Amino acid sequence: MARLLTHPMIDWKDDGTPVAREAGDVYFTAGDGLAETRAVFLQGCGLPEAWAGKTEFTVAETGFGTGLNFLALCELWQAHRPTPNAWLHFVSFEGFPLTEADAARALGAWPELACLAARLLADWPGPVRCVHHLVWPDIGVTLTLHLGDIHDTLPQSQFMADAWFLDGFSPAKNEAMWSADLYGLIAERSKPGASIGTFTVAGAVRRGLTEVGFDVVKAPGHGRKRQRLEARLALASPAKPDIYGLRAHNGPRQKIAILGAGIAGASAAYALTERGADVTVFDPVGPASGASGNPLALMMPRLDAGDTAQARLLIDAYLAARRAYSGMEGAHETTVRQMPKDKAEQTRFAKLLADPPLPLEDLEAISGGGLLHKRALVLEPARIISGLLDNVRVRTGTVEISLQDRLVNAEVFDIIVLATAMETNRQLGWVGLEGRLGQVESVADARPVQAEAMASGHYALALEDQRLWGATFEKIEDGVPAATSAAARATNADALRQLSPWWQRSATSLPVQSRAAIRATTADRLPLVGAVPDYSAALETFSGMRKGRPVDADAPVLPGIFMVNGFGARGFTWGPWAGRVLAAMCLGGPSPAEVAALEAVSPVRLIVRALKRGEV
């Protein structure tokens, strides 16, 4: 199976109806599609009455198609939002995403949706297997779009729906979207009393829904269809054990403290504020003062040759970061020439290009076996972090905390988020973060240029009158302060000579400044994002893992304590993705990530791994 998804071939009828050639079915009937959406899905799920008095409401859909159902729902939400602080979450699944041009042509049939459609099209996803997540804070809407085969993506989704729109093509023409194994997954992700609306009355659909606990009835159809189905969940599925602590926080969650004002803390603050939380950031020194404080940073993808959960996670994070920084002051789009640093990387690049995970708009081959990364970013970290914290309360100076009492400087908070890098080893003795000393060299007052970047193990960046190159990534003992060294400068100088950017000679004739900072990393090089476990309780609860026994229990966690940490050398790539994941965990709503990705970054994984290996 190719890593990139396939755009459907669309044939257009004379009346403007889009037809999927392979499926032989219409997305909607021109002139009647919006009315059908309102009748079959909105009214079929009892909307807007069903969300009256609720602070959040989640709708899930099988088959995103043109996005018409989503836009119609947003229009209804704007007219009948229960309160100014209520949130509508929309989760959808699509295996054959339309091109932006086809989606725009299809949605152009409804001028009343033009403003919402333009907003959706501005962030229309490419044919990449990923979780595409949008937040529209002004109207209280999130969109979580799982792109890929629904038999892969639905089991990996994390949410609970109040209503479902079952809208794949006709069961007779697209059996895979209606296969029996999906109904149980739908029930598992449905709240008690959840409703379903769909256009089909096929017997297999009725039986499938009934078998997993839905009460199903036929209702008058729309247009030429005599009947449609409505269903309501009568028998909810039992919750599965939450071994990795992935469920949303169920306590008070409005007042949140974030400890640390680097890219991890700033990204978390932005995502939480975007969702309406009252956030205060605490930092002993101030924003962008540690490892996030280099003059320039490079934001480019780390691409693996295999289609693994970790590989998809890295792509999700990169695309999320690119969307987040787009248009921000301090973000500059560029292309990056990445040459293989050795034979192993040359082989990896060749495998990668044989089955690329990103489209030609983002990635292509260059001579010498290298990669050309398009639409990458050169960042000015101080400006990016300032932008992320623009509407956030920031306090500098001494920070005293009590995790048990959720106190920061004697003030009580509902939630505390640790974005404290290596200091987390003092706050949580078991976490075992490793320090890596990174040194970069930079000059100012060079000839002004547009953003440029090269990479091959190390990197060289140019932006306006600044040049920067490096970086080292050497292990450093916990507690040893960061310090620059002549050896690191020599390593970076040698790397610059090998990269050989056109500005090398002129830049090194200027006064060179060295800067060193410690990056917090984990043994598996993945970040720590999620609820902080109760270490002693987890050892007891999961003790059977030492003998290979399965665990049938939820992870014990410290109430209201979360972390975003361990970003290593990819802080600006991980930040926005981790912030959105954290926001869903703290405030509720669908997770913008696969379950496998959430488990891979869960802090609980450190304890699970240690128990399985007999290390604790």
Place of tokens 């920031």: 394
Please check the confidence at residue 235 and state whether its pLDDT lies above 90: no
Angle at 51 between CA 45 and CA 53, to 5 degrees: 155
pLDDT class for 372, splitting at 50, 70, 90?
Answer: very high
pTM tops 0.85: yes
> Dihedral, CA atoms, 442, 447, 453, 455, nearest 10 degrees?
-50
Mean pLDDT within 236-255: 92
Rounded to whole angstroms, the Cα distance separating 90 from 59 reads 5
Please check the confidence at residue 29 and state whether its pLDDT lies above 90: no
Please enumerate, as own/partner, the contacts of 348-355 that have beta carbons within 8 Å and a separation of 24 or more: 348/304, 348/305, 351/305, 352/303, 352/304, 352/305, 355/2, 355/3, 355/307
**Tokens, residue 140:** 């209280």
The answer to whether the CB of 557 falls within 8 A of the CB of 534 is yes
Percent of the chain with pLDDT over 90: 92
Q: What is the pLDDT of residues 390-419, one digit of tens each?
A: 999 999 999 999 999 999 999 999 999 999
Please check the confidence at residue 30 and state whether its pLDDT lies above 80: no
Domains of the chain (ranges; CATH) run 10-233 (3.40.50.150), 438-521 (no CATH)
Query: pLDDT at position 452, please?
Result: 97
Q: Bridge partners of 12? A: 18
Please check the confidence at residue 224 and state whether its pLDDT lies above 90: no
pLDDT class for 1, splitting at 50, 70, 90?
Answer: confident
Question: What letter represents residue 533's amino acid?
Answer: P
**Tokens, residue 525:** 């090089």
Q: How buried is residue 237: exposed, middle or buried, by Cβ count under 10 Å (0-12/13-18/19+)? A: middle
Question: Picking from 20-29, 143-152, 596-605, which range would have the lowest pLDDT averaged per residue?
Answer: 20-29
**What is the DSSP secondary structure assignment for residue 19, as one 8-state letter?**
E
State the distance between the two ends of the chain, measured CA to CA, in whole angstroms. Answer: 40
Mean pLDDT within 292-312: 94
Mean pLDDT of the chain: 96
